Amino acid sequence: SQQGEEDPQALSIQEGENATMNCSYKTSINNLQWYRQNSGRGLVHLILIRSNEREKHSGRLRVTLDTSKKSSSLLITASRAADTASYFCATPYSGTYKYIFGTGTRLKVLA
């Protein structure tokens, strides 16, 4: 399968704590994106990290990318109950517009 593997599959933390989720692929990574999905809804784009970048920040989000290890991580700092959602990584197949999504991490932030 070409799917990206994400871990953990599920994560439960207290409000105010940091949440880290990881994503790895068997194929090479290009321009990796992270998406968020609230329960039963479509996905919403969070952040893009380009293949020549190692780290990127956006608000409370911090993304790292290691192309040699074909992996990425998403850190959400000072989590809030509203961050409760599933998070997916996605990278395009080389040279195409088709994306390989990860299997997702379900995050639950307890108030």
Partner 1 sequence: DVKVTQSSRYLVKRTGEKVFLECVQDMDHENMFWYRQDPGLGLRLIYFSYDVKMKEKGDIPEGYSVSREKKERFSLILESASTNQTSMYLCASSPGQGGTYNEQFFGPGTRLTVL
Our CA angle for 67, 75, 47, nearest 5°, is 65
C-beta of 19 vs 102, nearer to partner 1 = 102
Q: By CB under 8 A, which span of 12-20, 37-45, 59-67, 74-82 interacts with partner 1?
A: 37-45
Between residues 20 and 99, which has the closer beta carbon with respect to partner 1? 99
Q: Are strands 105-110 and 10-14 parallel, antiparallel or unpaired?
A: parallel
Q: Give the residue, chosen from 19, 29, 43, 85, that forms a contact with partner 1 under the rule CB under 8 A.
A: 43
Sequence-separated (6 or more) residues with CB below 8 Å from residue 77: 18, 60, 61, 62
Q: Yes or no: say if 6 and 22 are a contact pair by the CB < 8 Å rule.
A: yes
Is 83 a binding residue for partner 1 by CB under 8 A? The answer is no
Which of the residues 1 through 30 are near partner 1 (CB under 8 A)?
A: 2-4, 6, 9, 30
Comparing CB distances to partner 1, the nearer of 77 and 101 is 101
> Position of tokens 């952040």?
47
Considering only 63, 71, 88, 109, the residue that binds partner 1 (CB under 8 A) is: 88
Q: What is the 8-class DSSP label of residue 31?
A: S
